[in-house]
Amino acid sequence: MVHAADPANRYDAELKGRFEAREKDWRNGAIVYQVLPDRFAPAANLEAKRHLYPAPKVLRSWDETPKRGTYVESAKLWSHEIEFWGGDLQSLRAKLDHVQGLGADVLYLNPIHLAYTNHKYDAFDYNAVSPEFGTRADVKALAKDVHARGMKLVLDGVFNHMGRNSPKFKDAEANPKSPWRDWFYFGPPYPGGARSWWLAENLPEINLENPAVRDHVYAGKDSVVRSYLRDGVDGWRLDVAVDIGFEHLHGLTRAAHAEKPGSLVVGEIANYPKEWFPAVDGVMNFTLRALVLRLVEQKIEPQHAARMIDRMVRESGIEPMLKSWLMLDNHDEQRIATRVPDEAQRRLAQVLQFTLPGAPNVYYGSEVGMTGGGDPEMRAPMRWDWVRDDNPTLRWTKQLIQLRKQHRALRVGDFRLVESNRLFAFERHTDRAADTVVVVMNPTSQTVRETVMVANAKLMNNWMLVDQLGGGPKQMIVTGLLDLELPPGAFRVYVPELSPGGGYSAYKRVQ
């Protein structure tokens, strides 16, 4: 009896099981869809909940666009922070077909905790849901619906500060003997008498050095972090996590994992990410975002960007990088269609968002081409009238998501630079030749002709690579080299052509 030769080699033995384990972890390379509950889907019966928006709050029509307001000194906030559009958790549940249809793996909600503003970053009570959005029962129902569609649910945890109008803070401020006094930092050096986040007086910081505060937020069995996980939530995105610090982040992450093994804790950390693991599972990768945008806008040279990205991945580690969110826009940043108005440059950025290591974060509405400048313009209500099959931006977004879902290496593969002088090029790879994806792009204003080296010993000589996205012709790899010509703004996403027909494949004895 003749046995087939083992296609693996000694290098594969060192990798055995690594990529399979990554695939079993939903946090790796997930497609994340971000929603502002107030702005995503209009409530079915808005009149019935109009009483939830008493003056000076304002309830806007869905077709109105948010505009910058004025600072209200008495409330210590901006008037546009208390303008609402009426979305809630029930209306969100009614639109899950759209989220699932995109191919999202994770639904991430901006804060839903009881608070005064529309954005809810000024919590009154973490354990309660703002009535404009619903109840804890609605959270459980949403989690159930999300899970039934094969997706996960992540909430926004704002555990560095609360709201100035929260009952705990107001009592602590008025009474030095209040049981909540040590939950905050009071003293004459602080504007308004209490330490607040970046001197925003409406956002007094909480005292995480107080064990009672830690028990309430994450350490106790019935803490906020643990109880929502028991309600069906699968993870937390932590607002201004960098301000929470290493020790408290590590404690929170351990508590989340103890309550629900495999849950996700991702931190809003704009710093270079290297030392923030394992205090969090992943970061919102602002460093990678900045490099991508600077690269496509021709503010840094391709090889300069390549070296910086390569160093970041090596020093931070591929495992936490795969769990880190890569966003081009969100509720704090200009929408990508406004930030990068040139379509060719924008497409380059989006290709990188879906091929570099990480979990791509799609901000609601950007998949249909919504625009929006600084706060609050980027928080406009969802344009459901733009969700059409003939919308080119929506088709393009779905194409990118499907590309990622179809190629294992883009989800869980390692990262390696392709040797190039003027192009931006890299490889995502596993222990299988068939998984290899080679990404090459020309972000410059000149046509580039050059030879690049793909240091992958399993890519067979004199065999073709096929472009999956950029519309380019097949490209032969010869002795590990590619002779390329790319016009300005062009990109290629190559995979090996395993069996072109005729019954023969150069990959017959190579895994």
Mean pLDDT of 128-144: 98
Point out the least confidently predicted range of 4-18, 21-35, 65-79, 195-209: 4-18
Q: Which run of H or E residues covers position 415?
A: strand 414-417
pLDDT at 8: 78
pLDDT digits (tens, 9 = 90+) for 227-239: 999 999 999 999 9
- Taking the CA of residue 293 as centre, how many other CA atoms within 13 Å lie in the half-sphere pointing to its CB? 19
DSSP for 363-388? Answer: ETTGGGT----TTTGGGPPP-GGG--
Q: Is residue 483 among the annotated active site residues? A: no
Q: Domain-by-domain residue ranges, the chain?
A: 23-160+208-406, 414-496
Of the listed 156, 239, 333, 367, which one is catalytic?
239
Q: Are 349 and 340 in contact (CB under 8 A)?
A: yes
Q: How far apart are alpha carbons 186 and 170 in whole angstroms?
A: 12
Of residues 229 and 471, which shows the higher confidence score? Answer: 229
Residues 6+ apart with CB under 8 A from 258: 226
CATH architecture of 414-496: Sandwich (2.60)
Of the listed 268, 329, 414, 497, which one is catalytic?
268
Instruction: Look at residue 502 and tell me whether its pLDDT is greater than 90.
Output: no
Q: Are 205 and 161 in contact (CB under 8 A)?
A: yes
Q: Are 15 and 409 in contact (CB under 8 A)?
A: no
Mean pLDDT of 384-389: 98
Instruction: Look at residue 1 and tell me whether its pLDDT is greater than 60.
Output: no
Residues 6+ apart with CB under 8 A from 26: 105, 106, 152, 234, 262
Q: Is residue 132 among the annotated active site residues? A: no
Mean pLDDT of the chain: 96
Instruction: Look at residue 12 and tell me whether its pLDDT is greater than 90.
Output: no
Q: Are 280 and 265 in contact (CB under 8 A)?
A: yes
Mean pLDDT of 484-488: 97
Where residue 11 falls among pLDDT bands split at 50, 70, 90? confident
List C-alpha distances in Å: 217 to 182, 228, 253, 403.
15, 11, 12, 39
Q: Which run of H or E residues covers position 288?
A: helix 286-296
Where residue 76 falls among pLDDT bands split at 50, 70, 90? confident
**Which of 105, 396, 420 shows the shortest CA–CA distance to 234?**
105
pLDDT digits (tens, 9 = 90+) for 42-56: 999 888 999 999 999
- Looking at 87-232, list the stretches that DSSP marks H as alpha helix, in order from N- to C-terminal side: 89-93, 96-102, 136-148, 167-174, 211-214, 224-230
Instruction: Look at residue 5 and tell me whether its pLDDT is greater than 60.
Output: no
Mean pLDDT of 399-426: 98
pLDDT at 389: 96
Amino acid occupying residue 222: D
Where residue 6 falls among pLDDT bands split at 50, 70, 90? low
**Which of 43, 123, 27 shows the shortest CA–CA distance to 91?**
43
Instruction: Look at residue 4 and tell me whether its pLDDT is greater than 60.
Output: no
pLDDT digits (tens, 9 = 90+) for 430-469: 999 999 999 999 999 999 999 999 999 999 999 999 999 9
Mean pLDDT of 66-89: 92
pLDDT digits (tens, 9 = 90+) for 317-370: 999 999 999 999 999 999 999 999 999 999 999 999 999 999 999 999 999 999
Residue 500 CB neighbour total at 10 angstroms: 12
Q: How far apart are alpha carbons 239 and 155 in whole angstroms?
A: 10
**CATH code that applies to domain 23-160+208-406:** 3.20.20.80
**Which of 109, 105, 106 shows the shortest CA–CA distance to 89?**
109
Instruction: Look at residue 2 and tell me whether its pLDDT is greater than 60.
Output: no
Percent above pLDDT 70 for the chain: 99
